[in-house]
Amino acid sequence: MDRLVNTVRPYAWGSTTAIPELLGQAPTGEPQAEMWMGAHPGAPSRTERGPLNELITADPVRELGERAAGKFGPRLPFLLKVLAAGAPLSLQVHPDLARAQAGHAAEEAAGIPVDAPHRTYRDTNHKPELICALTPFDGFCGFRHPVEAADRMAALGVDSLKPYVDVLHAHPEEAALREVLTALLTADPDEMAHTVAEAAAAADRLGGAHAPYAMLAHHFPGDPGVIAAMLLNRVRLQPGEALYLGAGVPHAYLEGLGVEIMANSDNVLRCGLTPKHVDVPELLRVVRFEPGDPAVLRPEASPSGEEVYETPIDEFRLSRFVRAEGAAPTDLTTPTPQILLSVAGRPKAGEVTLAPGESVFVPAGETTELTGAGTVFRATVVA
């Protein structure tokens, strides 16, 4: 197996302390948002044998196994991260596979450079995600029922929100959500900035369930995403709980430390809470306007002690082992590639001791045994 040396991405929304604390390092004072583990070309993990993406490209069957290489091609189909949000991330959705392929082809035909700020589809893949909380983790996920959103808006007492409140009461649910989100994202920017300022001031006075919107407006003054967030469910995960985010589900993370796994893609459509490009027509093609409570996942334990977070896709499978002192060894040998990440204790993968935040890549078929006390996340594929 290969011990991984991983890149930490310093995005502005990152916590300055959470990842250093996990790694047992002193904070630098700079944001540390995401630690990437995998073979993404933007920041591949490094090993003593070379960058992980180059190892896989050179011999995909050896590294990935015949089944995974045959199913997903010569690439690791997932990216594992430790994500540390110290401030809100953008409100966003991801496309399904068909839309990603069609959108990418259209932008290629139009000659839009892949690194252009207004480019939407940077690759041909979908980007389902799973976030598992290591600390209490706050965010928004999926649409709430329109009447609930209307009540949240109406309580602010802002006259310019009344038309949205009326639509949310008067229309069928999916049509109402579509109409209001479209109106928010296409409104006159100056008028919307005034609405957001009034709403933020009212939310600050009310506090409680309205406090997050005042906080969003502090970070993103005048942004229509502040109002759009009122259409969404507020979610607070406890450690060990997770959310699966499929195609078209709007979401935004607010604060917390978690383990995130996703299909290897950069395709993001933003709805707000960002200075970046918002492609409204394409966004409206992708968003699923389906209200309902977010499905919080809790792991299902197996006889081996592996706790699995069940998801409906094959590009990744995330599980964890919470091992006590003296626990029997666990055989992790599998015909698919895997990354093992320690988040507590000092367990051993084979002969490699893993302190919190340390990880290894295990090529397909390599004999691997987990011993010692601690908590280990296991990322692999379904093939």
For 127-143, the three-class secondary structure string (H helix, E strand, C coil) is CCEEEEECCCEEEEEEE
CB-CB contact of 174 with 292 (8 Å): no
Q: Of 270, 320, 323, 378, which residue is the catalytic one?
A: 270
Please tell me the distance from the alpha carbon of residue 73 to that of residue 60, in angstroms, as a whole number: 8
Q: For residue 267, give the amino acid letter.
A: N
Please tell me the distance from the alpha carbon of residue 318 to that of residue 128, in angstroms, as a whole number: 13
Structure tokens at 13: 């929304």
Please tell me the distance from the alpha carbon of residue 341 to that of residue 83, in angstroms, as a whole number: 13
Q: Which of 31, 18, 6, 13 is nearest to 81 (CA)?
A: 6
Burial of 17 (0-12, 13-18, 19+ CB in 10 A): middle
122 is a catalytic site residue = no
Structure tokens at 59: 């011999």
Close Cβ partners of 205 (under 8 Å, ≥ 6 residues apart): none
H helices within the chain, ranges in order? 18-23, 52-58, 60-64, 66-72, 97-109, 146-154, 162-170, 173-186, 189-206, 211-219, 225-228, 280-286
Please tell me the distance from the alpha carbon of residue 375 to that of residue 157, in angstroms, as a whole number: 48
Please tell me the distance from the alpha carbon of residue 40 to that of residue 264, in angstroms, as a whole number: 7
Close Cβ partners of 70 (under 8 Å, ≥ 6 residues apart): 383
Please tell me the distance from the alpha carbon of residue 313 to that of residue 368, in angstroms, as a whole number: 25
CB-CB contact of 160 with 195 (8 Å): yes
Question: Which residues face 192 on adjacent strands?
Answer: none
126 — phi, psi (to 5°)? -85, 175
Structure tokens at 128: 């389902």
Residues carrying an active site annotation: 270
